[in-house]
Amino acid sequence: MAAKGAPKSVQELELILSGDNKVKVAVDGVLRGKFISKSKFLSVAKDGFGFCSVIFGWDIHDTVYPKELLISNRNNGYRDLLAAIDLSTYRRIPWENDVPFFLLYFLDPETKKPISVDPRGTLRKAVSQVEAKGWQCISGIEFEYFQFQETPYSVVEKKYVDLKPLTPGMHGYSLLRPSLNNEYFHDLFDVSLKMGVDIEGHHTETGPGVFETALAYTTALRVADNATLFKLIAKSIGIRRNILPSFMAKPWANLPGCSGHIHVSLKDTSGKNVFSLSPDEIKQGGRKDARYEDVQFISQEGEWFISGLLDGLPHVVPLLVPTINGYKRLAGGEAFWAPNKLTYGYDSRAASIRVISPPSCSPSATRLEIRIPGADVQPHYALSAIFLLGLRGINKKLVLPFPPVSQQQAQGDEAQVVKLPTSLKDATEKMMQPGSIAREILGNEFVDHFGGTRLHEVNVWDSAVTNWEREFHLQILGFKVLIVF
């Protein structure tokens, strides 16, 4: 789905930019980009331009990956890639004098084929596989995120401890708390709309200074772009008001983490929700499942999609939880509504896959909510994995391997539930195993590169000395020994 007012040709582009002298472009993931002159932009709008490949060879702090990964490395001289401009992503940035803005995707300069690890290219490829079946990938994303009364300078001076929350206390769905920072709270909503990032819901969430924002349900690529841009919007608005929003999954050990729940469904060419039941099935009280003595209000294709997720999710967890810190959020489990087991359930927030269907919603709104990701999720990668696993389940007509979580709890079968990997290291090693489902759906090149970047973060973490270690060990002269007589 193109952004409102997006040009359909280079000729339209020239008209849109008639009053401008520069353009801003960016690559998705950790948003990186630059300004280029209008004349340069118009000259490369059709065929693209060279962009240093090191953006795929850096971590988030611009440290070059020590392992020579395939896309960008010392051996290939950190060569240029071909940056193609996606005209459909046209927007203007309200806080930068409405400068025109476009997103990019990357091609190999020799073969002109998409780069395997480009976030937008990865999702475009996944979506095209689903579209080959005559279906459209539809999604929505919800972010929870802390806000601090801090600046980029103050957090460094404080060494990232003793940060002041935007508001104290736990105030989920509060009508009063946004009054304390009224302009900032409303700017997040209003500026997002100006930038073409549609929002369905916006409110306080439980936790000191925590907000939750639900991005409007739309096509998968559009919502993934919107999710990345929303983080940019929040940080850009916040920095102008000495407010620092954080999309870290688990900033504090004793407080709930921040989720990045992803809702998905499929739509056919007539606009019908592929996961919804037919009117006759709804009149009959749903689809009966004799195996689990259950009534289902989701279609057979929807059930196969769920089965595909259950079969493959353990192999793709790093695409849903990509950081060391994200697994601290999952460690809290159901106590913090962060499911860390392989489960599904009907309108159950205790399950990792929540099935939202009648009577909880209208048939047209039938969908799945994937509750594993935190706010640190890379949305293009996560959606690629989700839709490819679901499509695999449909193609293979996979059956549900166990009953919904409510029946497991009632029957005392919870001990049989598979736990998801509990660390980035374990999750990445499982993803990178020969013959993994991740390799099957995403390809070896993607898995080897992305897995290499995740193992780099593991190595950085393993060599780090944390405040906890100093607090726990600095004054201890030796280990206590318990002697039993």
**127-142, pLDDT tens digit by residue?**
999 999 999 999 999 9
Task: Output the pLDDT for position 409.
Answer: 59
Q: Is omega for the bond preceding 359 within 30 degrees of 0, making it cis?
A: yes
Average pLDDT over residues 233-249: 97
The answer to whether residue 118 scores a pLDDT higher than 90 is: yes
Contacts of residue 49, defined as CB under 8 A and 6 or more positions apart, other chains included, come to 40, 82, 83
Q: Quote the DSSP letter at residue 53.
A: G
Task: Output the pLDDT for position 35.
Answer: 96
Task: Give the Cα separation of 142 and 207 in Å (integer).
Answer: 16
The answer to which of 200-204, 215-219, 443-447, 466-470 has the lowest mean pLDDT is: 466-470
The answer to whether residue 346 scores a pLDDT higher than 80 is: yes
The answer to whether residue 478 scores a pLDDT higher than 60 is: no
The answer to whether residue 180 scores a pLDDT higher than 90 is: no
Give the confidence band of 91 by pLDDT, cuts at 50, 70, 90: very high
Pairing of strands 99-107, 199-204: unpaired
Contacts of residue 106, defined as CB under 8 A and 6 or more positions apart, other chains included, come to 27, 51, 81, 82, 83, 84, 114, 115, 118, 121
Average pLDDT over residues 45-67: 91
φ, ψ for residue 304, nearest 5 deg: -65, -40
**Tokens standing for residue 375:** 């706010």
**Tokens standing for residue 135:** 């279906």
**Percent of the chain residues past pLDDT 70, beyond the cut:** 93
Task: Give the Cα separation of 237 and 78 in Å (integer).
Answer: 34
φ, ψ for residue 389, nearest 5 deg: -65, -45
Task: Give the Cα separation of 298 and 361 in Å (integer).
Answer: 12
The answer to which of 74-78, 282-286, 420-424, 455-459 has the lowest mean pLDDT is: 282-286
φ, ψ for residue 156, nearest 5 deg: -70, -45
The answer to whether residue 354 scores a pLDDT higher than 70 is: yes
Task: Output the pLDDT for position 45.
Answer: 95
The mean of the pLDDT values for the chain is 91
Average pLDDT over residues 394-412: 81
The answer to whether residue 51 scores a pLDDT higher than 60 is: yes
The answer to whether residue 2 scores a pLDDT higher than 80 is: no
Average pLDDT over residues 253-268: 95
Task: Give the Cα separation of 175 and 178 in Å (integer).
Answer: 7
Task: Output the pLDDT for position 41.
Answer: 96
The answer to whether residue 149 scores a pLDDT higher than 80 is: yes
Give the confidence band of 473 by pLDDT, cuts at 50, 70, 90: confident
The answer to whether residue 258 scores a pLDDT higher than 90 is: yes
The answer to whether residue 368 scores a pLDDT higher than 70 is: yes
**Percent of the chain residues past pLDDT 90, beyond the cut:** 74
The answer to whether residue 412 scores a pLDDT higher than 80 is: no
Task: Output the pLDDT for position 75.
Answer: 87
Question: Are 25 and 104 within 8 A, CB to CB?
Answer: yes
Q: Tell the residue number behind the tokens 């995740």, with chain if given.
A: 454
pLDDT in tens, 155-166: 999 999 999 999
Task: Output the pLDDT for position 89.
Answer: 96
Print burial letters for 298-325: b (CB count within 10 Å at least 16), e (below 16).
bbebbbbbbbbbbbbbbbbbbbbbbbbb
Within 151-207, residue ranges assigned H as helices are: 152-157, 182-194
Task: Output the pLDDT for position 30.
Answer: 79
Q: Where are the beta strands (DSSP E) in 205-349?
A: 210-215, 218-219, 244-246, 262-268, 287-289, 294-296, 344-346
C-alpha closest to that of 457 among 34, 98, 26, 60: 60
Average pLDDT over residues 220-234: 97
Domains, the chain, with CATH or none: 10-115 (3.10.20.70), 135-461 (3.30.590.10)
Task: Output the pLDDT for position 82.
Answer: 97
Task: Output the pLDDT for position 414.
Answer: 58
Average pLDDT over residues 415-442: 93
The answer to whether residue 321 scores a pLDDT higher than 60 is: yes
The answer to whether residue 116 scores a pLDDT higher than 80 is: yes
Task: Output the pLDDT for position 260.
Answer: 97
Question: Are 383 and 220 within 8 A, CB to CB?
Answer: yes
Give the confidence band of 289 by pLDDT, cuts at 50, 70, 90: low
The answer to which of 362-371, 435-444, 466-475 has the lowest mean pLDDT is: 466-475
Helix (H) or strand (E) holding 143: strand 135-148
Average pLDDT over residues 413-432: 87
Task: Output the pLDDT for position 480.
Answer: 54
Task: Output the pLDDT for position 417.
Answer: 80
Give the confidence band of 290 by pLDDT, cuts at 50, 70, 90: low
Question: Are 45 and 87 within 8 A, CB to CB?
Answer: yes
Contacts of residue 252, defined as CB under 8 A and 6 or more positions apart, other chains included, come to none
